[in-house]
Chain A
Amino acid sequence: MSPRTLYDKLWDRHVVRDNGDGTALLYIDRHLIHEVTSPQAFEGLRLANRQPWSVGANLATPDHNVPTTDRSHGITDPVSRLQVDTLDQNCQTYHITEFAMADPRQGIVHVIGPEQGATLPGMTVVCGDSHTSTHGAFGALAFGIGTSEVEHVLATQTLGQQKSKSMLISVDGKAPAGVTAKDIVLAVIGRIGTAGGTGYAIEFGGEAIRDLSMEGRMTLCNMAIEAGARAGMVAVDDKTIDYVKGRPFAPQGALWEQAVADWQDLHSDADAVFDKVVHLDATTLQPQVTWGTSPEMVVGVNQTVPTPESFPEPVRQEGARAALKYMGLEGGMPICEIKLDKIFIGSCTNSRIEDLRAAAAVVKGHKVAGNITLAMVVPGSGLVKQQAEAEGLDKIFLEAGFEWREPGCSMCLAMNADRLEPGERCASTSNRNFEGRQGQGGRTHLVSPAMAAAAAIAGHFVDIRELSS
């Protein structure tokens, strides 16, 4: 057999029917479900009198709408409540495993999949959410789908797919201290642009990627979609297998041994050919901060906000002008002089235990600056929250003046009560800085957890590498 990429191997493993024209019917091993993109799919199933094809392949949790404050009285917003209740009812009707709001295992769907071992190497993982690319960190083929496809997966356990082109993004050399997975992926998006990966499945490789922990790899793959690629992935290695071992949904005993043997092949062959290869030098990277309204509008923390004239193409100049106006910034301003109003540490990108540890390490012994009106930490799941509390991280945050919340998507997209007011400026560990994403008129700067924490303490952006030295 000719050498294959990891993507080729994952694709080949799941072909139910090859249509011979670059499209195929692919089998879906794992389907994750949340409350926003599933109600219309279940309704479609019901109207057509269909049943889920494989009930056990599904795992559900409410995350987008859930309050992150006291939940003892349920959800106040009736519209949000109806959507969460609808998920509960659908899961009951069809016997789908759900970690409901009161369950300690509830959390952001892309945090709980890996946490439970429901995401395994070699799987196809889909969810009605674009950040499903997260699960590619496990050497899985994982991508976001729309609601019609959610219904299709429920009814048939398959999806008709067009095979993507393949792209290798090799991040070479060691990343300097203070440069995290978030900074690497923001730098990648800055390089190739938000449409740079459109039509591609991206494999991340190179020393700086191999050096990342599994949680770092999840952060990285999570944002593949912000580069336009539906799927991002990293080859399986010992870290992958160690992470999965012993998790509730992971295979045990003899099946575990058999699975581990099967996963050894989940990497690109040495001489596999990619449609496109991009190299990035990790050794020169800085912590990254976005300045505009698209994740590709990003610079190093020691740089200045670019001027529109610094872009060669008229379309990008115009984009930069509109972004600066929306963001209330001037070209030429040093990033470190940007003052903030709110701090958000959370989201499917950066709400896992290592993220909270990194932020707490910066915060410890300090107070949130006077100009920060709200600094909040939203753990990615109930279990992450428990773990953080066991380590005393909640106390570090609370003593510094942060709020310590219940798990959910929260202010990443502001579907619940957590949001920015018009004109407010936020350092956020989330994934999108689109206009209005965190609340109408809100201004988002995407950063790593340590950078967000440092900004909370200083009241403006600071280079975390200077704090540690």
Chain B
Amino acid sequence: MEKFETLTVIVAPLDRSNVDTDAIIPKQFLKSIKRTGFGPNLFDEWRYLDHGEPGKDNSQRPLNPDFVLNQPRYQGAQILLARENFGCGSSREHAPWALLDYGFRVIIAPSYADIFYNNCFKNGILPIVLDAETVDRLFRAVEAQEGYQLTVDLEQQQIRTPDGEVIPFEIDAYRKQRLLEGLDDIGLTLQHADEIRAYEEQQQRQRPWLFDQ
């Protein structure tokens, strides 16, 4: 996993609540057995005017000019500004894979669905929670000014606006550390292999039917 370093980047506003993972990456693209290559199909049904299928040449497809990510001013955006309950629905990790593959490293929203929120951290995406009022204010600022950029400083747990405002955010210390260091969860857990074995031995005595398979 890539280490998370401080970014100063363009923000794209997606002004819809309850954006579900079916919308983030439609199911026909879940048939891939890889982790990469989902970016061109991120928000496929909103982004293109025709129906997308795996294997289709996306560069030849008609774009929906009204969809925010197709507007020239938001090209290169690495922060997605969103509304409440972002990432609801299916557990598909293809959703953060698609966001990452497209180029997003940060999402800012008032709230997220639990599984999606969790999945982001596993892939080096930082999902920031801000209160609805602040998010609303950011939406207005982003829409008002072309090329609007925010600085996201994970170390300091701060978002900095172009006019110098500092917006602090909360994040679990363990997750923060993992993002900053780009650490592999499995390797960390296996440092406790002895404790896992000890737990299993105790369970085997107390609840042997769980191991009789």
Q: Which residues of A contact B (CB under 8 A)?
A: 16-17, 19, 21, 23, 25, 27, 29, 36-37, 39-40, 43, 48, 50, 53-54, 56-57, 64-65, 77, 79-80, 82-83, 86, 120, 122-123, 128-130, 132, 144-149, 151-152, 155-158, 160, 162, 194-195, 198-199, 228, 230, 249, 251, 255-256, 258-259, 262, 294, 315, 319, 322, 413-415, 432, 434-437, 440
Contact = CB atoms under 8 A, between A and B. Distances in A.
B190 interface: yes
B119 A157 contact: no
Interface string B70-104: 00000000000001110011111100100000000
A151 B190 CA distance: 13
Interface stretch (B6-14, B162-170, B192-200): B192-200
Interface string B19-61: 0101100111011111100000000010000010011000000
B91 A145 contact: yes
17 contacts: A21-B174, A23-B172, A27-B200, A123-B210, A130-B90, A144-B115, A146-B96, A148-B93, A148-B119, A149-B118, A152-B189, A195-B84, A230-B114, A251-B212, A255-B212, A415-B28, A415-B30
B134 interface: no
Nearest to A42: B33
Contact of A129 (B20, B91, B199): B91
Given A80-B31, A83-B31, A147-B93, A53 B196 contact: yes
Nearest to A23: B174
A69 B200 CA distance: 43
Given A53-B196, A434-B22, A436-B22, A79 B213 contact: no
B23 A434 contact: yes
Contacts of B209: 120, 251, 255-256, 258-259
A156 B185 CA distance: 10
A424 to B, nearest CB: 14
A76 to B, nearest CB: 13
B151 interface: no
B35 A195 contact: no
A21 B28 CA distance: 40
Contacts of B174: 19, 21, 23
B195 A249 contact: no
A253 to B, nearest CB: 10
A312 to B, nearest CB: 15
A436 B115 contact: no
A152 B33 contact: no
B210 A25 contact: no
Contacts of A57: 213
B122 to A, nearest CB: 4
A91 to B, nearest CB: 14
B84 A146 contact: no
Contacts of A255: 208-209, 212
B89 to A, nearest CB: 6
B207 interface: yes
Interface residues of B, number: 59
B55 A79 contact: yes
Nearest to B114: A230
Given A56-B211, A432-B20, A436-B23, 4 more contacts: A144-B91, A152-B185, A256-B209, A434-B22
Contacts of A25: 189, 192, 195-196
B144 interface: no
Nearest to B199: A16
A213 B133 CA distance: 45
Nearest to B83: A315
Nearest to A130: B91
A260 to B, nearest CB: 10
Contacts of A48: 186
B45 to A, nearest CB: 5
Contacts of A162: 172
B149 interface: no
B161 interface: no
B157 interface: no
Contacts of A16: 192, 195-196, 199
A43 B36 CA distance: 13
A452 to B, nearest CB: 21
Given A40-B34, A432-B22, A17 B195 contact: yes
B190 A156 contact: yes
B189 A83 contact: no
Contacts of B185: 148, 152, 160
Nearest to A323: B18
B52 to A, nearest CB: 9
Nearest to B209: A251
Contacts of A436: 22-23, 26, 45
Contacts of B172: 23, 162
B64 interface: no
B130 interface: no
